[in-house]
Amino acid sequence: MRRIAATPRPDWQKKVEEKGLTWHTGEQPYWNEAAFYEFTAKEVDVLETATNELEKMTLQAAQHVIDNKLYARLAIPEMAVPLIESSWEAEPPSLYGRFDLAFDGVNPPKLLEYNADTPTGLLEAAVVQWYWLQDCFPKRDQFNSLHERLVALWKELAQYLPGRRIDFCSMDDAEDGMTVTYLQDTAQQAGLQASIFPIDEIGWDGNTFLGPDDRPLGTVFKLYPWEWMVREEFGKHIGAAETTWMEPPWKMLLSNKGILPILWQLFPRHPYLLEASFDGPGLMMAWAKKPILGREGANILLHQPGKDVETGGDYGEDGFIFQQMATLKSFDGMYPVIGSWLIGHEEGNAAGGMGLRESDTPITTNTSLFVPHLFD
């Protein structure tokens, strides 16, 4: 695994915009092709194997939470429990997820967290970096079959979607909008009817959730976290309505940082896991304190002897977990985190590709840069 400096394509902004990445530059470029990461095929195999193994482990952890009613430990409100349990039994459609992994090319990947419910950055990983590869290194390869897998999965799911239709909704936000617009595209390529609208335009008529045009909603992909949905005004209607939601409610268990200590309890010293605890750092020398329901690197405290680094934010009122600090290797002063994507949940065959984000600190936040990759 190497980080290699590169000269960006002269008109890279136009090229990425043409692929749908309409937000590519903030205070600095978010899409960064002034460098790329190079992997060996063996390293990609390691990441793929780890992703499939972690998928299996997290499903076992979800079953453990349900069997032992550990909902309070995860700050999940009681009213959400029937939603979780019924969706776990019924197995409604589930599309995707993303493991964030620390990896240095030498040691086994370590799970930092699992974005199981509302992962973004998909367009960059599935499409934009793929076209970058075609332009710059057409004879090289990339760990990326995300697009084909998404289209194929929608085709499989079509039979379960009333009217072969899916509606997408998200917040009025550029990054979220890009993700759902891309997913809408993949659904349409699979032959589904699809529309997209802001989540606050969902209506309720006393029995049924409705779209902005007052059409009953059969299946909705919502890029909006379950822990917020169940606490909002319409949350109390979810169980009574016939609308099927993607991702399903049971993903609430896995997008929760509390799943990390539960994984550690179930699989102690597993090579893909970092020690984690609900009760404090114990004997850990260097650790991260993360809000159970935190998002995008907010309210994280990284502790090393003699040195603390903390991020701001509004999360933490539901409690924290403590996780052994991963030893992120610095590549040219940058710390990469691998976002390893799952498409579907087919055992042993869910890993679909990866995207890398890097920061000049060991905490990945919403300002971290997306950097393309390739392998031989």
Partner 1 sequence: MKKSTKVTLTVVAAVGLASCGRSRRDPCEQGSFNEMACQDATRSGGYYYGGSWYPMMYRYPYPYYYDHYRTHVSNGGRVVSAPAGSYARPGGAASSPGVTHGGFGSIGAGHGAGE
Q: Toward partner 1, which CB reaches closer, 69 or 215?
A: 215
Q: Minimum distance from CB of 228 to partner 1 (Å)?
A: 4
Q: Toward partner 1, which CB reaches closer, 105 or 211?
A: 211
Among the listed ranges 103-111, 206-214, 265-273, 323-331, the one in contact with partner 1 (CB under 8 A) is 206-214
Does position 123 interact with partner 1 (CB under 8 A)? The reply is: yes
Handedness of CA 124, 127, 133, 135 (dihedral sign): negative
Q: Toward partner 1, which CB reaches closer, 229 or 275?
A: 229
240: amino acid identity, one letter: A
Q: Minimum distance from CB of 99 to partner 1 (Å)?
A: 12
Does position 319 interact with partner 1 (CB under 8 A)? The reply is: no
Among 229, 276, 325, 326, binds partner 1 (CB under 8 A): 229
Q: What is the three-class DSSP state of 302?
A: strand
Does position 376 interact with partner 1 (CB under 8 A)? The reply is: no
Supply 251's token pair: 């993903």
Does position 38 interact with partner 1 (CB under 8 A)? The reply is: no
Among the listed ranges 67-75, 101-109, 207-215, 325-333, the one in contact with partner 1 (CB under 8 A) is 207-215
Among the listed ranges 62-70, 78-86, 183-191, 246-254, the one in contact with partner 1 (CB under 8 A) is 183-191
- State the Cα torsion 245-175-141-10 to the nearest 10°: 160
Q: Minimum distance from CB of 81 to partner 1 (Å)?
A: 20
Which residues have C-beta within 8 Å of that of residue 25, sequence separation ≥ 6? 13, 31
Among 87, 144, 219, 324, binds partner 1 (CB under 8 A): 144
52-91 binders of partner 1 (CB under 8 A) = none
16-35 binders of partner 1 (CB under 8 A) = 16-23
Which residues have C-beta within 8 Å of that of residue 370, sequence separation ≥ 6? 30, 31, 32, 121, 124, 125, 129, 355, 356, 357
Q: How far apart are the C-alpha atoms of 29 and 17, rounded to whole Å?
A: 13
249-288 binders of partner 1 (CB under 8 A) = none
Which residues have C-beta within 8 Å of that of residue 357, sequence separation ≥ 6? 121, 336, 337, 339, 364, 368, 369, 370, 371
Residue position matching structure tokens 């998909």: 122
Q: Minimum distance from CB of 14 to partner 1 (Å)?
A: 8
Does position 188 interact with partner 1 (CB under 8 A)? The reply is: yes
Q: Toward partner 1, which CB reaches closer, 63 or 359?
A: 359
Q: Toward partner 1, which CB reaches closer, 232 or 346?
A: 232
284-303 binders of partner 1 (CB under 8 A) = 295-296
Tell me how long the chain is: 376
Among the listed ranges 51-59, 75-83, 119-127, 340-348, the one in contact with partner 1 (CB under 8 A) is 119-127
Q: Toward partner 1, which CB reaches closer, 32 or 243?
A: 243
Q: In b/e form, how buried is each residue of 328-366, taking b as 16+ CB within 10 angstroms? A: bbebeebbbbbbbbbbbbeeeebbbbbbbbbbeebbbee
Q: How far apart are the C-alpha atoms of 308 and 329, rounded to whole Å?
A: 18
Tell me phi and psi for residue 303, to 5 degrees: -115, 125
Does position 228 interact with partner 1 (CB under 8 A)? The reply is: yes
- State the Cα torsion 283-285-291-292 to the nearest 10°: -40
Q: Toward partner 1, which CB reaches closer, 51 or 275?
A: 51
Q: Toward partner 1, which CB reaches closer, 103 or 275?
A: 103
Residue position matching structure tokens 């896995």: 254
For the CA atoms of the chain, what is the radius of gyration? 20
Q: Minimum distance from CB of 223 to partner 1 (Å)?
A: 6
Among the listed ranges 84-92, 169-177, 275-283, 300-308, the one in contact with partner 1 (CB under 8 A) is 169-177
Which DSSP symbol is given to 71? Answer: T
